[in-house]
Amino acid sequence: ESTLSAVDPEVAQAVSAELHRQQSTLEMIASENFAPVSVLEAQGSVLTNKYAEGYPGRRYYGGCEHVDVIEQLAIDRAKALFGAEHANVQPHSGAQANAAAMVAVLKPGDTILGLDLAHGGHLTHGMKINFSGKLYNVVAYHVDKETGIVDLAEIERLATEHKPKLIIAGWSAYPRQLDFAEFRRIADSVDAKLMVDMAHFAGLVAAGLHPSPVPHADIVTTTTHKTLGGPRGGIILSRAELAKKINSAVFPGQQGGPLEHVIAAKAVALKVAASEEFRERQQRVLAGSKILAERLSKQDCADAGVRVLTGGTDVHLVLVDLVNSTLDGQQAEDRLHSVGITVNRNAVPFDPRPPMVTSGLRIGTPALATRGFGEEDFTEVADIIAKALCPDSSDFSDAAKVALAARVELLAKKHPLYPGLQR
């Protein structure tokens, strides 16, 4: 059998270059992680060849006896890990999980209440040109301008006024925990369903280091590739009474054949997520983000107009507010990139700069924790980031850049990534 490099050297070369990029830079995009080799192996397997429309034991294709075993393992592990009554492991992505979850409990034109994209919500929580904004009547809630905290009083007011059928709690860029019990109370007061999208913090929930939304929500959706550290994909958890509706909303409602190779990789990731090693890793994720928030709150950063939104973090990411900095989000992202640290610029609530530029950065610690970073390493990373961001635009010399890049290289060498994988 011919290898990738023999059949398609162009693709092989780009894959190899990407492996090198991941190994030699510090990945701090909050939604990214490094899947273990076991996950890569499951995903890169012959399961990719198999059609399996339907669910374990009830398929529309023959030859599903082995993928049934795999999908049932993934379902059972998801239910056990999160204490859920029902799990659907077929959504191809987080966005598809959310689309199916909404189809299960809504009709087109129904009202949904979700966090504004500009305040940290996700596209699928009601953005205008996303399916959620086109199919449903969207009302958005916000964070408080002073504190940066989700404004529960506003949510209650909007819920009472607009009577949504569904309230969505969850975020893509928010550094604090949500009060799920309070969301539940508000949802009950207007007879709405509550969906929690825990895509970002699912790994913390799995490790018992973040309150679980499962006891409070009718439906919980997640991705499997962020803090959870698995393959790219989605999962829907729900109460037993919604199981049938959820399953038929995924297939045949939204999707055709499930990606059984990805489902196998999800099963592996869910097994890993139940381990003590995973819990210890999530503890380092949280320790790292706290160290970063503290370092970026010091005087040199305050003097440069750099602030940490909400004054800190309870999760795996820090939101850096550059509204008062001479650097905008794009320049800050580029500056970190130039020393070997990958982050993404991100609008801050009430951002005065345009969405392609922004006044913020979202910086996360999951990928580095997976690489083995501990508190000492995160302290060094935090200092490198502060030294890059906190002088103003004119003050960042080429010599400073070279020195910081060398410190990044040392950290990358100290924690080799995928040492067994060939370039």
Residue 260: partners with Cβ closer than 8 Å, 6 or more residues away: 47, 48, 50, 52, 67, 70, 71
130 part of the interface to ligand PLP, by CB under 6 A: no
Q: Least distance (Å) from ligand PLP to the CB of residue 121?
A: 8
Binding residue (CB under 6 A) for ligand PLP from 71, 197, 321, 377? 197
> Is residue 389 marked as binding?
no
Give the separation between CA 139 and CA 161, rounded to whole angstroms.
10
Q: How far is CA 96 from CA 46, 173, 321, 334, 389, in A?
A: 24, 19, 31, 31, 36
Residue nearest to ligand PLP (CB): 94
Give me the least distance between CB of 219 and ligand PLP, in Å please.
Answer: 13
Counting contacts by CB under 6 A, is residue 359 touching ligand PLP? Answer: no
Would you call 141 a catalytic residue per the annotation?
A: no
Residue of 50, 77, 184, 226 marked active site: 226
Size of residue set near ligand PLP by CB under 6 A: 15
Q: Is 193 a catalytic residue?
A: no
Is 241 known to sit in a ligand binding site? yes
Residue from 35, 84, 87, 95 in contact with ligand PLP (CB under 6 A): 95
Extended strands (E) in 161-264: 166-170, 193-197, 219-223, 234-238
Contact 315, 204 (CB under 8 A): yes
Return the residue of 90, 172, 325, 365 that touches ligand PLP, per CB under 6 A.
172
In Å, how far are 166, 202, 226, 328, 340 from 356, measured between CA atoms?
30, 28, 23, 10, 22
User: Was 122 annotated as part of a binding site?
Assistant: yes
Report in angstroms how near the CB of residue 93 gets to ligand PLP at its nearest: 3
227-240 b/e (C-beta count within 10 Å ≥ 16 → b): bbbbbbbbbbbbee
Q: Among 27, 77, 84, 94, which residue sits at the site for ligand PLP (rule: CB under 6 A)?
A: 94
Task: Tell which one of 33, 43, 93, 346 touches ligand PLP (CB under 6 A).
Answer: 93
225-264 positions binding ligand PLP, by CB under 6 A: 234
Q: Does 31 bind ligand PLP (CB under 6 A)?
A: yes
Residue 399 has a CB neighbour count (10 Å cut-off) of 8
What are the φ/ψ torsions at residue 156 (nearest 5 degrees)? -65, -40
What Cα–Cα distance (Å) separates residue 347 from each residue in 130, 161, 174, 323, 328?
18, 28, 11, 10, 10
Q: Which of 81, 115, 138, 199 binds ligand PLP (CB under 6 A)?
A: 199
Contact stretch for ligand PLP (CB under 6 A) within 52-60, 137-145, 193-201, 247-255: 193-201
Range 40-69, binding ligand PLP (CB under 6 A): none
Using only C-alpha atoms, the chain has a radius of gyration, in whole angstroms, of 22
Phi-psi domain of 84 (left: phi exceeds 0; alpha: psi -120 through 50; beta: other)? beta
Cβ 60 to ligand PLP shortest distance, Å: 25
Distance CA 200, CA 365 (A): 12
Residues that bind ligand PLP (CB under 6 A): 31, 93-95, 98, 122, 124, 170-172, 197, 199-200, 223, 234
Q: Which residues are annotated as a binding site?
A: 117, 121-123, 241
Residues recognised as catalytic: 51, 53, 197, 223, 226, 232
Q: Which residues are annotated as a binding site for (6S)-5,6,7,8-tetrahydrofolate?
A: 117, 121-123, 241
